[in-house]
Amino acid sequence: MISYLCIDFKPIQRLEKICIMEFNEIQSSTRNLITAYDKDYLSIHDKKITENVLIYPETISLILDIKTIHDINELTIQKAINFNPEIILFGFNSPNLFLSANQIKIFHDHNIAVESMNLMSACRTFNILLSEQRKVIFFAFLNL
């Protein structure tokens, strides 16, 4: 258990109040929480992944047909749309990769929120959304 200590001071530097917030480690044998990550891999349930993957809350699927960001189209994301997620995250290992307006429109046409960010930020965001029981899908592009 990790605890965070928050102390509020008055201008005269007297201790006014102390509050303690507890953070519990999230553990699940069925949910795909990302337990470790770096630029060239991520780990889920102690399984090291080094390829592009589509991560659902409870399953993982390799993405072998996407070689560039331009390969992301309605056909390649239909499996994700069929899951009916609230939000889809895109994590890119390369800097300055973003989805185009046309690609984002595909998701908006299905009332799905979409976010693109660097891979490490996306890993953290995925875990947070998953722990909140949100219907989230994560496209993790380690080799794009």
- Residue 78: the pLDDT is 80
Long-range contacts of 97-101 (CB under 8 A, 24+ apart): 97/69, 97/141, 97/144, 99/69, 99/72, 100/69
- Residue 127: the pLDDT is 94
Of the pLDDT bands very low, low, confident and very high (cuts 50, 70, 90), residue 10 is very low
DSSP secondary-structure letter at 140?
A: E
Residue 22 reports pLDDT greater than 80: no
The model's pLDDT over 80-127, given as tens digits with 9 standing for 90+, comes to 888 889 999 999 988 888 888 988 888 888 899 999 999 999 999 999
28-141 belongs to CATH 3.40.1280.10: no
pTM for the model: 0.77
Selection from 33, 45, 5 nearest residue 132 by Cα: 33
Question: Residue ranges per domain, the chain?
Answer: 28-141
Q: Which amino acid is at 118?
A: N
